[in-house]
Structure 1
Amino acid sequence: MHNFEKRRDRYNAFASFENPLVNLSFELEVPDFRPFCKEHKLPPFHVFLYCVLNSLKENDNFMYRVHEGEVIKIDDFMASYTVLNRDNNLNFARFERSSDLHEFVERSVAAKKIAEASDTLVNTTEALSPLDKKRNVHITCMPWLKLVAIEHPIYCHKNYDIPSLAWGRFSDPRADGKLTMTMSVLAHHGFVDGYHIHLLAQAIEARVAKIIA
């Protein structure tokens, strides 16, 4: 929490707002990892999700939450994301995050199959304790669309402290071997500035590059 104390006054300022959230949409540029996925028989979405979530965990600013009126830092979070079921209705996949790529992908694919097969809404946070509800990051991907911006449904802006990330369709590969997608990052401005979102984007790019090297 040492790093948080350096910005507690910023948190106090933004926490007084009715809507203390910052939501940035930007073009994320990463090396084209799809040939690597094809060669190693790995699904590209799950590999990219691995890079996003494991990069996010390494940035303290995305790990702060408010619990019982106090700012805390969570140690880890559940890996989860939105899925379409057989009726093309929203559902949630959830699994234990792993720092190992192949283990992460295996768990992610298995969780996706469960969510796709369920007619009812699963993996909501209703059964979780108040603290465990904080151990979360919201992820959604819309591969059919070239995402420009997104506004997330939020029950109460003032009390919202869970980062929400979204991205759309990947671009075609460029001549320099990179691809792009629009990514949106929403977070509590008391914890996260635009600079920290920039650092997250850099970390994702670096992790993708390291995997395919």
Structure 2
Amino acid sequence: MQNFEKRRDRYNAFASFENPLVNLSFQLEVPDFRPFCKQNGLPTFHFFLYHVLHAIKGIENFMYRVHKGEVIRIEDFWASYTVLNQDKNLNFARFVMTEDLKEFVARSVAASQEAEASTKLINTSEALSEYDQRRNVHITCMPWLNLSAIEHPIYEHKSYDIPSLAWGRYSPPRDDGKLTMTMAVQAHHGFVDGYHVHLLAESIGARIAQTMAS
């Protein structure tokens, strides 16, 4: 928490706001991983999710939470995201993260299938302990839309400390081998600045490039 203490005064300032959240939408540019996924039998969404979540985990500012009135740094978090169930209603997939890409994809696919098959809303945070509720990152993907911005439903802005990410449709293939999409990142401004969102974007692209080169 030594790094947090360097910005505690910033946290205290933004924590006094009725709405302390920063929400940035931007064009994310990464290597076009779709041919790589096709060659290796990897579903593109789950491949991309792996790199997004591990990039988040690698940036300390996205790991700060508020627990029992004090700022803590979580060590890990659930992998979770929204899906459409068989009735075309919202549901939640959730599973335990892993560093192994193929195992991550297998767990993610299984969690997605479970959520899609359930007519009831599952994997909500109600059954979790107060601490485990903090071990989360909210993820949603809307591949039907050229996303430009999003406003997430929030029970209470002032106490909201969990990062939320959303992205939309991928761009068509480009001659330079790049892929773009609009990504929206929302986080507590006491923890995260625009610079940290920049670091996240850079890390996602670098991680994808490293995987494709290995």
Q: What is the distance in 1 between the residues matched to 2:106 and 2:206?
A: 22
Q: Which residue in 1 is equivalent to 2:181? A: 181
Q: What is the distance in 1 between the residues matched to 2:18 and 2:99?
A: 36
Within-5 A mapping of 1:47-66: 47-66=47-66
Q: What is the distance in 1 between the residues matched to 2:30 and 2:173?
A: 10
**Aligned-residue identity in percent:** 75
Look up the equivalent residue of 2:42 and give its one-letter code.
L
Q: What is the distance in 2 between the residues matched to 1:25 and 1:195?
A: 13
Q: Which residue in 1 is equivalent to 2:32? A: 32
Within-5 A mapping of 1:100-139: 100-139=100-139
Q: Number of paired residues?
A: 213
Q: Which residue in 1 is equivalent to 2:67? A: 67
Q: What is the distance in 2 between the residues matched to 1:14 and 1:103?
A: 39
Offset at 1:166? 0.2
Partner SS, residue 139 of structure 1: strand
Where structure 1 has 5 or more consecutive residues not aligned to the other structure, the ranges are none
Where structure 2 has 5 or more consecutive residues not aligned to the other structure, the ranges are none
Look up the equivalent residue of 2:162 and give its one-letter code.
I
Offset at 1:180? 0.1
What's the TM-score once normalised by structure 2's chain length?
0.99
Look up the equivalent residue of 1:99 and give its one-letter code.
E
Offset at 1:186? 0.2
Query: Residue by residue, what CA displacement relative to the aligned partner does 1:120-168 show, whole Å, maximum 9, x if unpaired?
Result: 0000000001000000000000000000000000000000000000000
Q: Which residue in 2 is equivalent to 1:205? A: 205
Structure 1 residue runs of 4+, over 3 Å off?
Answer: none
Look up the equivalent residue of 1:181 and give its one-letter code.
M
Partner SS, residue 71 of structure 2: strand
Q: Which residue in 2 is equivalent to 1:165? A: 165
